[in-house]
Structure 1
Amino acid sequence: MSVEIQGRVLTMSEIDEAAFTRLAERHRRELHVHCYRMLGSFQDAEDTVQETFLRAWRRRETFEGRGSLRAWLYKIATNACLDLLAQRRPAPATGGEVRWLEPYPDRLLDELSADGADEPEAVALARETVELAYLVAVQHLAPRPRAVLILRDVLGWPAREVGEFLGDSVNSVNSALQRARAGLREHLPAERQDWSGGTGEDDVRTRDLVRRYTDASVATDVDTLAAMLRDDVRCSMPPTPGLHVGRDAVVADWVAGGFVGMTGLRGVPTAVNRQPAVAFYLWQDDAGAYLPLTIDVLRVSGGAIAEIVTFHADQFPRLGLPERLEPPAQNLSPVSSS
C-alpha cells in the first residue's frame, strides 16, 4: 500500500509512527465495538484495540495492499481478541451469568454512526447486536465460532475473507457459522425488546414505563415495581455473583438487600447499549450531594420489564454520567424525588 503524506507518496514501511497512527485511528471506534462484541468488556476491548495498533505498527511491512487497511486491522484485532480469550476468559457461570460484562456508552455508539453512515459497520450496527442480551448470548459461544458469527453475520465479511482472517478454509468458516447460529439461538431471548430510542408508539410507552420505574425506585415502592416486571424477569449485577430469575425471586432479593425503606435516592433516566437505563444516586451527608450508586439497564418486552442488569458506580465516568448531583436550592437535606 502507498499513501500520500505532505505531497510525498510513501509505502507503508516508509511512513512514520505518527502518520501510521492517523491512518489507523480512523477505524478505532468500529474496531473497539468489534472487540467489545467479542469480549463483552469495555476495558478489555480498550486494551485489545491498543494491542491491535501496536501489532499493526510492528508488522506494517507485511501489509502489501492486496486488501484494505480496514480489513487488515480487523484481522489483527480479531486475532488479538482470540489470543486474549485463550489466555484468561472464564466460561459463563451456572445459569448463564457473564460476570465480566460491562456497559457501552450510547454516546460512543453515536460517534460510530455519525462517522461512518455508509460503512458496512455502521449499516450492520443494528441495536440488537450491542444490546446486553446479545452480548451475553455471544459470550456463551466458543471463541472461533464467536469470531465467525460476528464477522459474517454482524459485519458482513465474506466467508473467504473471514477464512483469511482466521487461517481457516471457507468450509471451516461455514461450518463454524452454523454452529454459532445454533448456539446463539439457544441463549438469546425469544423476543426482541420494544425500545429503539425513537419516537414510535412502542418508544413512547417504554419511556413512560422507565419514568414510572424511576419514580417507584426512588420511592422504594416494591409493589409498583413488581407490577412492571414480567413473570420470567431476570436480574443480575455483574461482576457481583447472583442471577435471580422470576418476579418473586427478584422482589425477594430486593427486600433481603435492604431496598425497602431506603431514603435519599434520585434517579436519572439515560440510555446504555441502545437500551433504556436509569442511573441512581444516593444522598451522602458528608459530601452534601447525591453520589453515584448503581445504574439499571432495562430490557423491555411486551410493555413490561424482561431484564434488569445493574452495574456499579465505577461505570458512571465511562458512561458520561455526572459524578454528583446537587440538592435543589430549597432543600438542605436529602429528597426522595427523581
Structure 2
Amino acid sequence: MSADTWLGERGVGGAGEPEFTGLAERHRRELHVHCYRMLGSFEDAEDTVQETFLRAWRRRETFEGRSTFRAWLYRIATNACLDLLAKRRPEPATGGEVLWLQPYPDRLLDELPAGDADEPETLAVARETIELAYLIAVQHLAPRPRAVLILRDVLGWPAKDVADLLGDSVNSVNSALQRARAGMREHLPEQRQDWTGGQEDAGTRELVRRFTEASVATDIPALASMLRDDVRCSMPPTPGLQIGRDAVIGDWTADGFAGMTGLRAVPAAANRQPAVAFYHWREQEGAYLPLTLDVLRISGGAISEIVTFHADRFARFGLPERLPADGTES
C-alpha cells in the first residue's frame, strides 16, 4: 500500500510514530539528495533530513491530502534547508570556490528510485545535477533562487506549487528562475557536454587508470599530459582554486608532491563521476592510511577538473581504513 493510500484511509493524524516514521523513511535517500543539492554538504543534508522528519511528525495534523505525502515532505525539507542557510550562510559562495562542499558516494545514489528508462533526458538531468560542477555553480546562488531552480528544473514542480511553498507569486517565482538560470550560466561552461562528465566509457576508464598510475608514481609530466589547458583544481575546505594546467602543476610542485613516495590507490565513484582514493604508507603503523580522495571531471578525453577531499570522507564511501604492506584492502 502506498503512503498516500494509507494516509487517505486513516489520516496522517491517526498514524502512530513508528508507522509515520516508516512511511517517511521510504523517502529518506531522495530527500537527502534534495537537501544535498540545496546545501552542498553531505553532513548538513543529513542533519536537515532529520529535522524534516521531526517537523513532519510535529505537524502531521497539517497534512490534508491536497498534495502527495512525498511532495509534503519535500516542502518541509526545502524550508528546513532555507532556515539552515539563513542561519549559517547568509551569503552565497563566490569566486568559484565552495569550501563546505562534500562528495556524495555513488553507492548511496544507487539507492534512489530507478528513473524511467523511456525518458533519457530525465535521467540525464538527474545525473548532471548531482555532479560537482553543478553543485559548485548552484551554491553561488542566493538561497531562494537556488530553491526555485532546484524545484523547477530538477524536480519539475509547476511554478504555482513553488510559489505556494515559498509564499510568493508565480511571477516572482518565474523571475527568480530566470535570475538563477543566468547565474548558473556564469559558473558553468556554455556547452553542457563541457561541464558534465557524461556516461563512463572505455576511454574514460583508461584515462582514470593512467591518472591513477601516474599519481602513485608522482609522475608530474605524465599527469600534465592528461590535463586540459583550463583544468581547475581545488581542495575544500582548504581555500585555494587553481585554474589552468601551469597553475595546477605549479601548486603540486610547490607542495612537494613530485618527491612523494609510498602511495597506493583504490578506485571509487562520487557524484556520478570517477574518483580515486589515495593511501600513504606510514611506517609506524605498518600500513597505508587514508590520504585524499580525488573526484575527476573528464571532458573531451582530458581531465577538466580535480576536486580533492580529505581522508575524513573515506568512511562514507565504504573505503578500507587501511591497506596492509602488500597493498590489498583490509
Q: TM-score, normalised by structure 2?
A: 0.92
Q: Distance in 2 between matches of 1:233 and 1:123?
A: 27
Distance 1:166 1:239, change over 3 A: same
How far the C-alpha of 1:60 sits from its partner, in A, is 0.5
In the TM superposition, what whole-angstrom CA distance separates every residue of 1:278-299 from its partner, at most 9, and x where no partner exists? 1100111122211100011011
In the TM superposition, what whole-angstrom CA distance separates every residue of 1:103-155 from its partner, at most 9, and x where no partner exists? 001011111044x658x9x8575211000010000001111111010001001
- Who is 2:165 aligned against? 165
How far the C-alpha of 1:11 sits from its partner, in A, is 1.9
Q: How many residues align?
A: 322
Residue of 279, 291, 294 corresponding to 2:292: 294
What SS does structure 1 have at the residue aligned with 2:306?
A: strand
In the TM superposition, what whole-angstrom CA distance separates every residue of 1:238-278 from its partner, at most 9, and x where no partner exists? 00111111111111111111111211101112211001111
In the TM superposition, what whole-angstrom CA distance separates every residue of 1:32-55 from its partner, at most 9, and x where no partner exists? 000000000000000000000000
| Residue 217 of structure 2 is aligned to residue 214 of structure 1 | no
Contact 1:195 1:206 (C-alpha < 8 Å) held by counterparts? no
The residue identity in structure 2 corresponding to 1:281 is Y
The residue identity in structure 2 corresponding to 1:21 is T
Within a 5 Å distance, the mapping from 1:112-123 to structure 2 comes to: 112-114=112-114, 123=123
| Residue 87 of structure 2 is aligned to residue 87 of structure 1 | yes
Distance 1:243 1:28, change over 3 A: same
Q: Distance in 1 between matches of 2:249 and 2:18?
A: 55
Contact 2:92 2:141 (C-alpha < 8 Å) held by counterparts? no
Q: Provide the identity percentage.
A: 74
The residue identity in structure 2 corresponding to 1:27 is H
| Residue 304 of structure 2 is aligned to residue 306 of structure 1 | yes
Within a 5 Å distance, the mapping from 1:10-25 to structure 2 comes to: 10-25=10-25
Q: Distance in 2 between matches of 1:124 and 1:18?
A: 36
| Residue 233 of structure 2 is aligned to residue 235 of structure 1 | yes
Q: TM-score, normalised by structure 1?
A: 0.90
Within a 5 Å distance, the mapping from 1:1-150 to structure 2 comes to: 4=6, 9-89=9-89, 91=91, 95-114=95-114, 123=123, 126-150=126-150
| Residue 189 of structure 2 is aligned to residue 182 of structure 1 | no
Q: Distance in 2 between matches of 1:69 and 1:93?
A: 33
Query: What's the Cα RMSD here?
Result: 2.3
Unaligned runs of 5+ in 1: 198-202, 332-338
Contact 1:284 1:290 (C-alpha < 8 Å) held by counterparts? yes
The residue identity in structure 2 corresponding to 1:69 is F
In the TM superposition, what whole-angstrom CA distance separates every residue of 1:182-212 from its partner, at most 9, and x where no partner exists? 1111111331334423xxxxx1111111100
Unaligned runs of 5+ in 2: none
Contact 2:92 2:143 (C-alpha < 8 Å) held by counterparts? no
Q: Distance in 2 between matches of 1:71 and 1:232?
A: 41
Residue of 191, 196, 201 corresponding to 2:199: 196
In the TM superposition, what whole-angstrom CA distance separates every residue of 1:203-241 from its partner, at most 9, and x where no partner exists? 111111110000000000001101111111110000011
Distance 1:30 1:124, change over 3 A: farther
In the TM superposition, what whole-angstrom CA distance separates every residue of 1:146-165 from its partner, at most 9, and x where no partner exists? 10100010010111111111
Q: Distance in 2 between matches of 1:130 and 1:204?
A: 22
Q: Distance in 1 between matches of 2:218 and 2:29?
A: 39
Distance 1:250 1:143, change over 3 A: same
The residue identity in structure 1 corresponding to 2:61 is E
